């Protein structure tokens, strides 16, 4: 239930915005954020929450939600700040 509720709000923002940025020729930023968040949140926090804290699969789901939140913040911030517009003019 937690995953489904968060997926409705967070998944579209965290995965549609980077595609919009890539389409506007802003490729490096989404790739860097994707690699960073995958390593830190999906892998790192999955290990910490799932193994170290003993949460198991639930800890992995929470780590994935953290990844979505981080990506959403980064990509919406990039869009609102307007840095992606400079990539179009290059």
- pLDDT, tens only, 7-16: 898 888 998 9
Number of helices (H) and strands (E) in the chain: give both, helices first.
Answer: 4, 0
pTM of the prediction? 0.87
Alpha-carbon distances of 69 from 11, 15, 66, 86, rounded to whole Å:
9, 11, 5, 25
3-class DSSP state for residue 4?
A: helix
CA distance 2 to 65: 9
3-state helix, strand, coil in the chain (%, to 5): 90, 0, 10
DSSP character for 64?
A: H
Label residue 86 by pLDDT band (50, 70, 90).
confident
Q: Is the pLDDT of residue 89 over 70?
A: no
């Amino acid at each position: 239930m937690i995953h489904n509720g968060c997926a409705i709000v967070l998944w579209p923002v965290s995965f549609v915005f980077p595609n919009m940025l890539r389409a506007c020729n802003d490729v490096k930023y989404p790739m860097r954020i994707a690699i960073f968040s995958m390593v830190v949140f999906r892998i790192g926090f999955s290990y910490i929450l799932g193994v170290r804290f003993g949460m198991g699969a639930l800890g992995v789901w929470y780590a994935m939600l953290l990844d979505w939140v981080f990506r959403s913040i980064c990509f919406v911030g990039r869009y609102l700040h307007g840095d992606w517009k400079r990539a179009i003019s290059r």
